[in-house]
């Protein structure tokens, strides 16, 4: 397994140039730069994080190729026909696939660089179970939120419903009512773009994932992967 030496110095400039050209010919002429500055370093990062997450007891792993998202955009049903994204990203999950919930996500892009631990758009059955757990076991939910706060993390509100969903109209406590409106349960850690070039990015991401573990454990308990409290 290779170590992680950081993304290349030309990683962000490459994304900027690709976003400007949005040309398949340009991309193929510069594909070697994409591989060396972005794709291969991201693969190294996935492998190192998989090892480190295993050492720290986090049930998260990935594959250097399969865990990465394609830089090619699917434009079949989109009005935006630009062929390439302006970022690279990857998911580490319990089974190493992109289909699981309770995942670690890393994103390096023109607009921002960040990591996230997330239950992102869980299916209807799991989302309902999470909402029921919030209402029926508020002490466990609040303990999780407090643990995150103690670790300097907070569940985001992106995509939150404007009203409580059907069946939860009677929820009176403001924090619980706000929580059941969530469609995602996610915490993020912004990354300085300059930091992606350093090997110690690994330590930053491992530290963040460990601090986000209360959110993972809460969801895993609801899934039945961990003993219920």
Q: Which tens digits make up the pLDDT trace of 55-108?
A: 999 999 999 999 999 999 988 888 888 999 999 999 999 999 999 999 999 999
Domain presence at residue 229: no
Which range marks the domain in which residue 33 is found? Answer: 11-223
Q: Which residue has the tokens 């976003």?
A: 19
Average pLDDT of the residues in 5-10? 97
Domain presence at residue 86: yes
Residue 216 has pLDDT above 70, yes or no: yes
Domain presence at residue 6: no
Q: What is the pLDDT of residue 228?
A: 56
Please give the Cα distance from 128 to 133 (Å, whole number). Answer: 9
Domain presence at residue 4: no
CATH for 194: 3.30.930
**pTM greater than 0.85 (yes/no):** yes
Name the region of 214 (left: φ>0; alpha: ψ -120 to 50; beta: rest).
alpha
Residue 227 has pLDDT above 70, yes or no: no
Query: For the chain, what is the mean pLDDT?
Result: 95
Q: Total domain count for the chain?
A: 1
Helix, strand, coil fractions of the chain, as percent rounded to 5: 45, 15, 40
């Amino acid at each position: 397994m290779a170590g992680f030496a950081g993304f290349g110095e030309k990683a962000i400039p490459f994304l900027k140039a690709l976003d400007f050209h949005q040309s398949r010919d340009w991309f193929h002429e510069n594909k070697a730069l994409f591989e060396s500055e972005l794709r291969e370093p991201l693969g190294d990062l996935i492998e190192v994080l998989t090892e480190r997450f295993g050492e720290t007891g986090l049930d998260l792993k990935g594959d250097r190729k399969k865990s990465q998202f394609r830089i090619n955009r699917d434009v079949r049903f989109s009005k935006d026909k630009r062929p390439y994204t302006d970022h690279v990203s990857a998911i580490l999950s319990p089974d190493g696939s992109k289909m699981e919930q309770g995942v670690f996500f890393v994103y390096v892009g023109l607009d921002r660089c960040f990591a996230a631990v997330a239950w992102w758009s869980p299916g209807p059955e799991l989302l309902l179970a999470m909402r029921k757990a919030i209402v029926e076991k508020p002490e466990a939910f609040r303990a999780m939120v407090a643990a995150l706060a103690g670790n300097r993390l907070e569940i985001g509100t992106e995509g939150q419903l404007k009203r409580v969903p059907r069946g939860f109209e009677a929820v009176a406590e403001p924090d619980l009512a706000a929580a059941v409106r969530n469609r995602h349960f996610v915490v993020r850690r912004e990354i300085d773009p300059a930091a992606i070039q350093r090997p110690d990015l690994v330590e930053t991401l491992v530290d963040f994932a460990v601090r986000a573990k209360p959110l993972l454990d809460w969801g895993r308990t609801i899934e039945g992967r961990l003993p219920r409290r």
